[in-house]
Amino acid sequence: MATIKLRRDTAANWTSENPVLEQGEVGVELAVSADVPHKIKIGDGETEWSDLVYSHQVLGIPGSDSVLVFKSDGTEELMTSAQLANFLGTTTDGALNAFAIDPTSNGSWATAAWKTALNLPANTVTSLAGKAPSTSGTAILKGDGAGGTASAVVNADFPSAGATAYSASNSAQTELYTENIGLPAVDGSPTANGYTFIDSQRVPTGGIVRRINVYCKTTGTVVLKALRGNANSSVDVLSSQTVTLGSTGALTLKDGTDFTGLYIPRGGYLGIADTGSGHLSYNSTSPTRSYFSPSGNITGNNVGIGVLQTSAELNWNYDIESPRSDTRSSSTGTVLYATDFNIVGQYVVGWADVSASWSLSSSNGLAPGGSPGTNNYFYIDRQFNCSQRTFRVRVKMAASNSRIALATKVRETNYSYAGTIAEFDGANSRLAIYNQWNGGSSTPTVRVTQALPAAVVAGRDYIVELIKEHRTNTIRVTDCVTQQQTTLSCVSTINDLSGGSEDAVYAGGFQWDEVGVMWLGGGSFNVSRAVVTIPQKGPRVVIIGDSITEGYGVTVDQRWATLVANMLPPGAVVISGRGGGKIDGVIAKITSEVAEIRPGFVLVCIGTNGGNTPTKLGNLVTAIKATGAVPIIACIPAMSGGAQASINTDILALGERTVRFDTATAAGNNASGSINSALYISDNLHPNAAGHAVMASQVKIDAPELFY
């Protein structure tokens, strides 16, 4: 019988050697005694051992009577109930199989909540109640980030008071949530003096900041901010920590070394105040992430944060260690975005209100205002182009004639007419998909309809989904009471235009870029939740590109990306092609798609529509690597007159893995030559089925690592 042995050593030897583990390689830190578990780290091919985070899929748990405790010095320890009791400075006479603690707002422990969560005898609860956050003893951080300064956090999914106790067998299940924003290794322009910079993206699950990468222009101090958002475009400052920037250039600030236990609650934000003159760096060239920048080193509650800054981005990114949550992935796919509108303030960033009339409340969620029409919509300010994708909302129809539509609006400038509108129409008791929408106030004509089996019921909740399955747009509505579903689909083909009119080709739009909610008429409605998902979970590679990747001129089954997917197991490939796409849009999707999907590789083919520059290509590679993926930047296919040659020169100069689509599709396989006309459709720009076949074959030749 074969035996598999993992690389293993003591903590001291690991630290002394400090190796770089290969991507996916497991290193085991051996326990010092039998009653302490082994710990593991998983390599990424770049990071040294000392900088890797423990996996927390803890080996050798001695029994169910255990919880994982995070300490203020950045270490963690698996403790039995007796060990935990000793750590807290008290005793327990009951087995601790689960842990879910929450203090009240006045700084004392809620006895009833402790007893419910811990299921401990009354005398133990009384004893533990003396360890309040306001005392000098060890405190345990409250689930929403309040409750005093914490010197320890028990990782029990951060439940609320009175919550059902969280099983200790699952308490060690954490994950590292990474926000890839600017380019922390790039020297940009110095920031202005005396502003607090707030990332525009909320943290989807509460957790502890483990690492922050910044670019330091001048030495000095900055102040880190843990923030909670409010509905009135303001934030509460939960905690602040001053950090010294001791040297210029790219810096990594670490939990336990530069700062300690900075906790961001679910739906909160991370901010950083520049207290000096231009300590930090920002990028104003094709920024992909907006931010807020209120003046001063902000403190207190209900602090106004002003308007989104979209012309530049701070050069930074950060890691937050969080409990596992369905805001990241599910058993049947991956969540690219999720938000609960019933949490006041949840939409302050990440969404855009086109008509400036939508409102939000903790009791009713998101509701439209103003006048209905295609220019009255509320959308996620992120770019999504995955070929298989679902945008899902839960909505309460305020009236039987309420009309809500899910829409996709083109974000990039090319082909703005390819937007999609899919309507749940209570007034006419139907579903409808409209002809392509240009993103403006002009309402397109209805393409297809489907009658509802029953009238819309005022005050009832419905699930409304807009589903993209390659070139098929589908709206599906589920009655949350009767569970009855109604579905309507419309196909948008993108074969050679010579075969028909443009309207027939772009029927229903392509579902490119931004997704949102639209009010088309009748009574109002209230949206409580919105989620964007893809069906794949843990894919090996994400393929990103323009119309060639999307498959213009061929069928879905004939495009090169699908052919590559067919060479791999089901679910191993995510395809994100976008007609007319350029490199700026690809960089934006590294944040909105790749960072959430977490593939092993990202294969990009971009540049046929222009827009590439050496700087942008470098930024693309940096952004991909920041997600932990390996970049493969393919040369673009041949173009008439050999126009691809100069574009591919810049791609090859990167020195990264590549795929030679140019030689595969050029006449005589000449990288600088014109197209092999036998491989192209009539526009001499897009490959035909034969051209896509040779491109897929070239991937297998030049990128064999995808198929190991």
- Domain of 343: which CATH number? 2.60.120.560
703 in the same domain as 628 = yes
In a domain, 494, yes or no: yes
In a domain, 575, yes or no: yes
- DSSP track, 94-145: S---B----B-TTSSB-HHHHHHHH---HHHHHHHTT--TTSSS--B--TTS
Q: Which residues of 213-228 are buried (b: 16+ CB within 10 A; e: fewer)?
A: bbbbbeebebbbbbbb
- Residue 319 structure tokens: 């890691």
376 in the same domain as 308 = no
463 in the same domain as 372 = yes
In a domain, 620, yes or no: yes
Domain final residue pick, 323, 346, 378: 323
How many angstroms separate the CA atoms of 531 and 465, rounded?
9
283 in the same domain as 195 = yes
In a domain, 134, yes or no: no
Report pLDDT for 430.
Answer: 97
Total number of domains in the chain: 4
How many angstroms separate the CA atoms of 543 and 682, rounded?
25
460 in the same domain as 363 = yes
Domain enclosing residue 191, as ranges: 175-323
493 in the same domain as 363 = yes
How many angstroms separate the CA atoms of 42 and 45, rounded?
9
CB 140 within 8 A of CB 160: no
How many angstroms separate the CA atoms of 635 and 618, rounded?
15
Domain final residue pick, 534, 553, 572: 534
352 in the same domain as 282 = no
Report pLDDT for 534.
Answer: 94
Beta bridge partners of 560: none
454 in the same domain as 374 = yes
| Stretch (H or E) spanning 694 | helix 689-702
239 in the same domain as 286 = yes
* SS3 of 301-359: CCEECCCCECCCEECEEEEEEEECCCCCEECCEEEEEEEECCCCCCCCCCEEECCCCCE
- Domain of 621: which CATH number? 3.40.50.1110
Domain final residue pick, 276, 293, 323: 323
Q: 292 vs 82, 269, 314, CA distance in Å?
A: 46, 11, 10
How many angstroms separate the CA atoms of 241 and 10, rounded?
33
In a domain, 136, yes or no: no
342 in the same domain as 463 = yes
Q: Measure the N-to-C terminal CA separation of the chain; round to a whole number of Å.
A: 24
Report pLDDT for 669.
Answer: 96
Report pLDDT for 365.
Answer: 83
> In which residue ranges of the chain is pLDDT below 50?
1, 35, 56-76, 81, 88-175, 323-331, 344-349, 496-504
Report pLDDT for 96.
Answer: 29
Report pLDDT for 230.
Answer: 67
In a domain, 157, yes or no: no
In a domain, 375, yes or no: yes
In a domain, 123, yes or no: no
Report how far Cα 140 is from the mean position of its chain's Cα atoms: 28
547 in the same domain as 529 = no
- Domain of 252: which CATH number? 2.60.120
- DSSP track, 138-192: --B--TTS-SS--SEEE-S--PPTTPPPPBTTTTT-EEEEEEE-S-TTS--EEPP
Report pLDDT for 97.
Answer: 26
559 in the same domain as 460 = no
